[in-house]
Chain A
Amino acid sequence: MPATSKATRESHARVFDLDVQSLRELNQALHNLTAGSNETAWEVLNPKGNHSVAVGVDQPVSIDVRGSVGYYCGGMNSGSAITVHGSAGPGVGENMMAGSITVKGDASQYAGATGKGGLLVIEGNASSRCGISMKGIDIVVHGNIGHMSAFMAQSGNLVVLGDAGDALGDSIYEARLFVRGKVDSLGADCIAKEMRPEHLDLLQGLLDRAGVTGVKPSEFKRYGSARTLYNFNIDNADAY
């Protein structure tokens, strides 16, 4: 294959203008992609807060969304690389399986909720419940996150370069939380933990994957589960 073919393909990104084409047409076209398709670059214009932009994509294509999106952008993503050149509404990357989503602006509530894999990068701030019930996704937030983030988080990594709101990691299972700034309060059964060499390595890898430079893993604190809620404690029987 000639060396120029990739560049040629990218300059011919398939463009969907949501001012003239329907969201359903866009998502159907993305779902029609099969393995090895030459249509590897997509561009979405005028998203204007529409819901469910580029949900359920299961091929490794790149999708540039030029503007701000509403609910559930990139939900269930399974391999595509989505960039939102704007802000995202609630539930961006909800239940992501693989691939990546980068939000250039802010994200609203429950970014990356229940995500099982892949990388979600929020370059601005994320709102409340970021990473709620995360099950393996990696989330990197350049700014701050809101209250109740990583609630019942099960596995995966949440990295926050800024501050975290109240009740971080409430009822957390085994996810790792790394926060560089202050934490307003920790939720039930979430505690600060020792940052061991393997965590510093892990964090460096996450920062690299998220394109973060000039920030050292040693600037973060690690939080995780105290594991006291795993088993029923008979002393609490009166509470039921």
Chain B
Amino acid sequence: MCGIVGLFLKDKALEPKLGAMLSEMLVSLSDRGPDSAGIAIYGATSGNEAKITIQSPKPDRDFRGLDAELAKALGAPVSIAVKSTHAVVRTTPDKVDAAREALQLLRPDVRIMGAGEAVEIYKEVGLPEAVVDRFDVRKMTGTHGIGHTRMATESAVTTMGAHPFSTGADQCLVHNGSLSNHNNVRRELVREGMKFETENDTEVAAAYLSSQMAHGKNLGEALEGTLSDLDGFFTFVVGTKNGFGVVRDPIACKPAVMAETDQYVAFGSEYRALTKLPGIDNARVWEPEPATVYFWEH
């Protein structure tokens, strides 16, 4: 089953409430997926700072002293904000690749959830309520975000198997459905040099979009490509640094509903997820058409 949500704010006045609104939306869909949950939030960017969200099975051991060790390895300032099993590493944008390599050497058990100027990604095994509490998501501010609660059908219930999946700077994706040609697509992407952390089908969809955008396509064009290149059932909700997109496969079995007002664009697997949004009673509410790309950019 799985439940997915997305919220793209147009009204800056709502930005301090993004985490609370998105959390509420995700928690309302808890019974669509009890296995794991995750959320990606796009915060303010300063232009001279990159964020890398990392996760560790042993945060006490792995995160202690990491800022100093990483700063030394990179020769650049590093700060770390720990949130439970995750931490956000901040450094200069030119050091992201070097930081990935250094992290692998310094802390082999640490996994990278995602990186970019704006995005922070938190995901864990457990119900949405527990996950948003654990990472204090309700207090987060930002411009847009996506979330997922998982009922696993296709690969293991692990932190890394949870959504969102991020395979490119400030790019991430949540998925309801299952892909049938992901092994083939993964092989092609590996040949291109993409790296994969899991056997999960959704990670392939995320990497496919990253690859398309790396080849110069915009989010809308990349999403269009999923309709011909990915086989299976999918409703995807995707975030980029300044954009938000939705696409459903042509059969469109997986549910989806959207709402738009002057203040926001919202997506939910079900209408239940949207009922507490401000002004929902007067919002334009519709079911996204099959095989049709929707995207918004700031």
Interface size on A, residues (CB 8 A): 17
Q: Evaluate whether A90 and B271 lie within 8 angstroms (CB atoms) in the complex, with A106-B286, A108-B287 already known.
A: no
Chain B min CB distance to A72 (Å): 12
Q: Are A70 and B271 in contact (CB under 8 A)?
A: yes
Check B255 for interface membership: any CB of A closer than 8 A. Answer: yes
Chain B min CB distance to A174 (Å): 26
Chain B min CB distance to A125 (Å): 8
Q: Which residues of A contact B285 (CB under 8 A)?
A: 68, 87
Q: Which residue of A lies closest to B275 (CB)?
A: A48
Alpha-carbon distance A227/B214, docked complex (angstroms): 52
Per-residue contact bits, chain B 217-237, to A (CB 8 Å; 1 contact, 0 not) = 000000000000000000000
Q: Which residue of A lies closest to B272 (CB)?
A: A49
Q: Are B271 and A87 in contact (CB under 8 A)?
A: yes
Alpha-carbon distance A148/B251, docked complex (angstroms): 9
Q: Are A128 and B270 in contact (CB under 8 A)?
A: no
Q: Evaluate whether A108 and B252 lie within 8 angstroms (CB atoms) in the complex, with A70-B272, A89-B271 already known.
A: no
Q: Are B275 and A128 in contact (CB under 8 A)?
A: no
Chain B min CB distance to A47 (Å): 9
The tally of CB-CB contacts under 8 A between chains A and B is 41
Check B257 for interface membership: any CB of A closer than 8 A. Answer: yes
Chain B min CB distance to A1 (Å): 40
Q: Which residue of A lies closest to B286 (CB)?
A: A106
Q: Are A68 and B290 in contact (CB under 8 A)?
A: no
Chain A min CB distance to B282 (Å): 13
Check A133 for interface membership: any CB of B closer than 8 A. Answer: no
Check A155 for interface membership: any CB of B closer than 8 A. Answer: no
Which B3-29 residues have C-beta < 8 A from chain A? none
Check A204 for interface membership: any CB of B closer than 8 A. Answer: no
Chain A min CB distance to B287 (Å): 5
Q: Evaluate whether A147 and B270 lie within 8 angstroms (CB atoms) in the complex, with A48-B275, A108-B257 already known.
A: no
Which A65-92 residues have C-beta < 8 A from chain B? 68, 70-71, 87, 89-90
Alpha-carbon distance A146/B286, docked complex (angstroms): 13
Chain A min CB distance to B252 (Å): 6
Chain A min CB distance to B257 (Å): 7
Q: Which residues of B contact A71 (CB under 8 A)?
A: 270
Alpha-carbon distance A127/B253, docked complex (angstroms): 11
Alpha-carbon distance A87/B257, docked complex (angstroms): 11
Check A50 for interface membership: any CB of B closer than 8 A. Answer: yes
Q: Evaluate whether A50 and B286 lie within 8 angstroms (CB atoms) in the complex, with A108-B255, A128-B252 already known.
A: no
Q: Are B290 and A50 in contact (CB under 8 A)?
A: no
Q: Are A127 and B287 in contact (CB under 8 A)?
A: yes
Chain A min CB distance to B88 (Å): 34
Chain A min CB distance to B173 (Å): 23
Check A114 for interface membership: any CB of B closer than 8 A. Answer: no
Which A115-172 residues have C-beta < 8 A from chain B? 127-128, 146-148
Check A95 for interface membership: any CB of B closer than 8 A. Answer: no
Q: Which residues of A contact B273 (CB under 8 A)?
A: 49
Would you give 20 A-B contacts (Cβ < 8 Å), ordered by A? Answer: A48-B271, A48-B272, A49-B271, A49-B273, A49-B274, A68-B271, A68-B275, A70-B270, A70-B272, A71-B270, A87-B285, A89-B255, A89-B271, A106-B287, A108-B255, A109-B252, A109-B255, A128-B252, A128-B290, A146-B290
* 15 more A-B residue pairs beyond the given contacts A68-B285, A70-B271, with a C-beta to C-beta distance below 8 A: A49-B270, A49-B274, A49-B275, A68-B271, A68-B275, A70-B272, A71-B270, A89-B257, A89-B271, A108-B255, A109-B255, A128-B290, A146-B290, A147-B252, A147-B290
**B interface list, Cβ under 8 A from A:** 250-253, 255, 257, 270-275, 285-287, 290
**A interface list, Cβ under 8 A from B:** 48-50, 68, 70-71, 87, 89-90, 106, 108-109, 127-128, 146-148
* A-B complex: 9 closest residue pairs judged by Cβ atoms: A49-B272, A49-B271, A48-B275, A127-B287, A68-B271, A49-B275, A70-B270, A70-B272, A128-B252
